[in-house]
Structure 1
């Protein structure tokens, strides 16, 4: 998957190539789920390096396999994420000097630029996962790291808001938004970026022991979460209206699945916030409401997943842009839904069904549900391999 990347693709490069790096980072997260839900971590709400070492020293085989597999997966896909991120940032710098960039800024596709802050926000999350997984004694200084993480996400959020300011200021004052060409859900990319920033900002709410840090985390993450909900609601309506009139665009059909990772990030944001309110402000939040929320969001993902499958199958999208020889940067939008749905199934199974006594951990029914997440995870790994070979292998 680590191909020698072209040094200058500024005429052909598109911001959606950031999704290649985003998908690799998401796959690192899927391997972290193995540690999160399969290892005991009594000293922290998340698994630490010490927990993994303790599992390796134990007598059971399953935790050892989980730790080794997770370590390999996290290390490999984190490295791939950073490799592709650096390449994309360099291409983005060159792209800004071209006429194609100016044309992009005057079109519906201007919102594709939000793929930049979206991927950088994922990079911060990946960095935190690398620290938890491979750095000993990290938890002893984590309260010092949370404010730095909040600052980093706020800076990325400011970048995203500046891009949204330019877009919304242009179309709401001067018009020019082409509703005919809006026959996809690509305009949900800003909502995805806002949701990714929100889930990162919400992390201290679930992990910090400082009430002040938790309060900042709750307020800041709520702002970007609400932004994601509002933009998402508007653009889903506009996108479906255009698709019902014009039919969907074959090259951008994968955007129908962008709702899946958005819902996953928003669900985790709400779970983290619920924990923060409950622990620090005695709100009484949680209980059956958490299980209900996980169920509703998972069902919504399945609805959009089935709808997207119908459209993609009728266009023969996979035969053309995945297993075929046609290239479209938008095909990388297929990676995030696989990651998002796999992660959601892990949370639904463990934080939902196991957490509220519906399932017994590591039972047959447990592994049947978890097996679906694992199948999605490895299918997504194959998809990343195939797309990277198609786009960069030459």
Structure 2
């Protein structure tokens, strides 16, 4: 009789992306509340705003709130579940020869998926607190410093991992395999840094304390600029390798990692702009926001088309999503869809509607909203599919062994 196994038993730090994707989906449900529940005088809706809308709103609004609550609760739970599983699995993985091999290869940067997932969890817990905890806003000024400490610790962890990698490859010639750099897998550190940056930007947009806002602006700028610099360098060198050697098939989904990074940086810039406006009277226009979001969305669409083109030509979905093979890197497919869903909501509400291009609740408004929800629903289905593939037991054979990521 064959022994029951799971692809996830062949551990890779890329499984932290499973926790990340679930956390991202919780944010897509919060967008319902953020954009559709009135919260005058406060940057984000709280439990009190949501409850008032639930008890006095129409059937459609009530349904949207109930769906949002259920979605936030479920995906924050999955986020925490897979984060804890990954931390335990990674602790055991560190004691193996495979870990030492990973630390001396290009794939060392996949470890930054850990602080990336941790930062997402902090964001997810804040979202859950706003949605479910009565009176949270009354103590939020005490929570912001604690949140910044948490993001600071995660940021230090990410910088240490990146420092170990760069210190090794930049001081010892020939240890970085350029031929295996034929994907955007090396952009994971930039992704992690940007997630820390957007976390720091939250107090910049929401706090009433000038000191808190100032510190948040400086730290969010540091991590966001660091992410952008790392992203540009990694992209240029990776493109060179891909042009010479083609795109690594298993790492094909990383071609679209630019999509979530653009969403994160876009939210960071909007939060910073709001904080500068409210606290320091630096006024930006709605047209500025519209153009910023439109440019970032354009970058996302271009890299989405590029990634899907390569994945289709390589038959990635047929083999790794709907076929017999598994790869932990498949979880990277969730991030672009989640990011596009969130970006479309911001582009519509903080761009088109705010600038007067589209009327709220008009036909055009709902068409774009439906597109955002469609991306969300597709990613929910993908997450459930991947979780079943990677964490479900099956008879051990070659088809069900996870392919190591490069």
Which segment is superposed worse, 121-130 or 354-363? 354-363
Instruction: State the partner residue of 1:240.
Output: 239
Deviation at 1:8, TM superposition (A): 8.9
Q: Partners in 2 of 1:59 and 1:283 — Cα distance?
A: 36
TM-score (norm 2): 0.94
Q: Partners in 2 of 1:166 and 1:65 — Cα distance?
A: 49
CA distance change for structure 1 residues 257 and 59 in 2, over 3 Å: closer, same or farther? closer
Q: Partners in 2 of 1:122 and 1:57 — Cα distance?
A: 31
- Equivalenced residue count is 389
Q: Is the 8 A contact 1:194 1:224 kept in 2?
A: yes
CA distance change for structure 1 residues 157 and 339 in 2, over 3 Å: closer, same or farther? same
Deviations 1:222-257, CA, capped at 9 Å, x for gaps: 000011000000001011111011000111100001
Instruction: State the partner residue of 2:402.
Output: none
Instruction: State the partner residue of 1:228.
Output: 227
Unaligned runs of 5+ in 1: none
Instruction: State the partner residue of 1:88.
Output: 86
Deviation at 1:281, TM superposition (A): 1.3
Three-state SS of the structure 2 residue aligned to 1:326 is coil
Which segment is superposed worse, 286-295 or 257-266? 286-295
Deviations 1:63-108, CA, capped at 9 Å, x for gaps: 1011100000000011011111110000000000011111111110
Q: Partners in 2 of 1:135 and 1:287 — Cα distance?
A: 32
Q: How do 1:127-276 residues align onto structure 2 when only pairs under 5 Å count?
A: 127-175=125-173, 176-276=175-275
Q: Partners in 1 of 2:106 and 2:272 — Cα distance?
A: 34
CA distance change for structure 1 residues 312 and 6 in 2, over 3 Å: closer, same or farther? closer
Deviation at 1:6, TM superposition (A): 6.7
Instruction: State the partner residue of 1:53.
Output: 51
1:18 aligns with 2:11: no
Q: Partners in 1 of 2:11 and 2:108 — Cα distance?
A: 14
Higher relative contact order (CA 8 A, sep 6+): 2
Instruction: State the partner residue of 2:33.
Output: 35
Q: Is the 8 A contact 1:201 1:221 kept in 2?
A: yes
Q: Partners in 2 of 1:393 and 1:243 — Cα distance?
A: 34
Deviations 1:305-352, CA, capped at 9 Å, x for gaps: 000010000011111111112110010000011100110000000010
Q: Partners in 1 of 2:252 and 2:48 — Cα distance?
A: 44
Q: Is the 8 A contact 1:275 1:286 kept in 2?
A: no
Unaligned runs of 5+ in 2: 394-406
Q: Partners in 1 of 2:381 and 2:363 — Cα distance?
A: 26
Q: Partners in 1 of 2:169 and 2:53 — Cα distance?
A: 55
Instruction: State the partner residue of 2:365.
Output: 366
Deviation at 1:41, TM superposition (A): 0.9
Q: Is the 8 A contact 1:5 1:87 kept in 2?
A: no
